């Protein structure tokens, strides 16, 4: 039987809506064999996830999704198989959370100017862990009646040129990859088609990423169309990057994005689990 991998998911440690134990239980119920938990800028959910995975008999890949600013854009870099005990990683993530807190205050000020009071307190009431994300602002704005759903609220308030948009000052690409490698992990560019880069600019990003020691490209993502997956598969082959796949699951409120229900990697892609860093042996 073929092994089901889902190598990109979120919990309440960042902007997911399920606690780590519940995410792992759902993944197991969905038939996932190998699950990576990859919260934004924190590894706080990993201990609980590992305990739950051992109980459920699935393999947990400890991970993180690091926010990076590259050429004034936000890019997400996944670290898979990270040892969360390493100082460089934790120091780097802590600095990103300080940036996040400052950005949240600025989002609050900007929304207040647009006539929406107490947005930070509202966002915090949706956050369960150390991270305040735009997702939490979005939940508050929908609940307060400013938009009909999450997609609508992002479009109207939380993206470039909208009243609640504040660009994050995130990590440098080379630093994020270095923290991941120092922690024994493999670095993967998350959902590459989401950035809407020209092929030339994406190749430049991937060239720099490889120079820094990056290893993988998330060819199959819950946020990619079938054409995106094929194009990113071609890009991975051309750049000799290992191909990864992940749903980017945030919880049952997004029913169209399901745990472990991903298309196969395109033909000819070398999977990330063929990396020498990947643990050997069949998943439990
Ligand atoms: P942040 O890291 O705080 O800037 O928030 C980014 C998060 O917002 C992403 O990880 C997604 O979970 C979420 N997000 C971004 N764009 C959208 C969108 N258009 N609709 C729903 N969620 C989104
Ligand atoms: Mn998210
Ligand atoms: Mn992301
Ligand atoms: Mn994600």
**Span 14-31, pLDDT tens digits:** 999 999 999 999 999 999
Around ion ligand 4, residues with a beta carbon closer than 5 Å are 65, 248
Distance linking the first and last C-alpha atoms of the chain: 13
Look at residue 164 and tell me whether its pLDDT is greater than 90.
yes
Minimum CA distance residue for ligand 1 atom 20: 151
Average model confidence (pLDDT) across the chain:
96
Query: Best of 133, 160, 255 to mutate for ligand 1, by most ligand atoms within 8 A of CB?
Result: 133
Q: How far is the CA of 55 from the centre of ligand 1 (A)?
A: 31
pLDDT over 80 (residue 282):
no
Instruction: Decide if pLDDT at 93 tops 60.
Output: yes
Please say if the pLDDT value at position 284 is more than 80. Answer: no
Alpha carbon of 37 to ligand 4 centroid (Å): 9
For residue range 184-239, list pLDDT tens digits in order: 999 999 999 999 999 999 999 999 999 999 999 999 999 999 999 999 999 999 99
Ligand 1, residue 41: give the atom nearest the CA: 2
Protein residues with CB under 6 Å of any ligand 1 atom: 15, 40, 67, 133-135, 150-151, 154, 168, 250
Contact by Cβ (8 Å): 270, 242: yes
pLDDT band at residue 253 using 50, 70 and 90 as cut-offs: confident
Q: Which ligand has the minimum distance to the alpha carbon of residue 151?
A: 1
Predicted local distance difference test score (pLDDT) of residue 109: 98
Q: Which ligand is nearest to the CA of 166?
A: 1
pLDDT at position 252 over 50 = yes
Band (283; pLDDT cuts 50, 70, 90): low
Tokens of 112: 């207040």
pLDDT in tens, 115-145: 999 999 999 999 998 899 999 999 999 999 9
Compute, in angstroms, the gap from residue 91 CA to the centroid of ligand 2.
Answer: 21
Span from the CA of 260 to the centroid of ligand 3 (angstroms): 17
Q: What average pLDDT does range 156-167 have in this prediction?
A: 96
Q: Kindly list the distances between the CA atom of residue 180 and the CA atoms of 50, 69, 240, 254, in Å, as whole numbers in the listed order.
A: 19, 16, 19, 29
Which residues have a beta carbon within 5 Å of ligand 3, which is an ion? 76, 190
């Amino acid at each position: 039987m073929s092994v089901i991998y889902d190598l990109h998911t979120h919990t309440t440690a960042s902007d997911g809506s399920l606690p780590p134990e519940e995410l792992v239980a759902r993944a197991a119920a969905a038939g996932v064999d190998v699950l990576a938990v990859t919260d934004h800028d924190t590894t706080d959910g990993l201990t609980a996830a590992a305990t739950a995975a051992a109980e459920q008999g699935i393999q947990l890949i400890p991970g993180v999704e690091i926010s990076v600013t590259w050429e004034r854009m936000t890019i997400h870099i996944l670290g898979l198989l990270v040892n969360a005990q390493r100082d460089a990683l934790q120091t780097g993530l802590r600095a990103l959370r300080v940036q996040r807190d400052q950005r949240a205050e600025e989002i609050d000020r900007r929304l207040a100017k647009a006539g929406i009071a107490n947005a930070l307190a509202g966002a915090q009431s949706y956050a369960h862990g150390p991270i305040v994300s735009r997702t939490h602002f979005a939940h508050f704005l929908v609940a307060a009646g400013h938009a009909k759903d999450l997609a609508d609220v992002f479009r109207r308030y939380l993206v470039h040129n909208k009243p609640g948009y504040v660009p994050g000052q995130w990590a440098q690409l080379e630093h994020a990859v270095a923290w991941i490698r120092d922690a024994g992990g493999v670095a993967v560019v998350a959902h590459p088609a989401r950035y809407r880069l020209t092929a030339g600019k994406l190749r430049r990003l991937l060239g720099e990423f490889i120079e820094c020691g990056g290893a993988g490209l998330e060819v199959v993502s819950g946020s990619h169309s079938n054409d995106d997956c094929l194009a990113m598969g071609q890009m991975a082959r051309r750049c000799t990057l290992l191909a990864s796949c992940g749903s980017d699951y945030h919880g049952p409120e997004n029913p169209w994005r399901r745990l472990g229900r991903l298309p196969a990697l395109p033909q000819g892609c070398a999977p990330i689990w063929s990396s020498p860093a990947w643990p050997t042996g069949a998943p439990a």
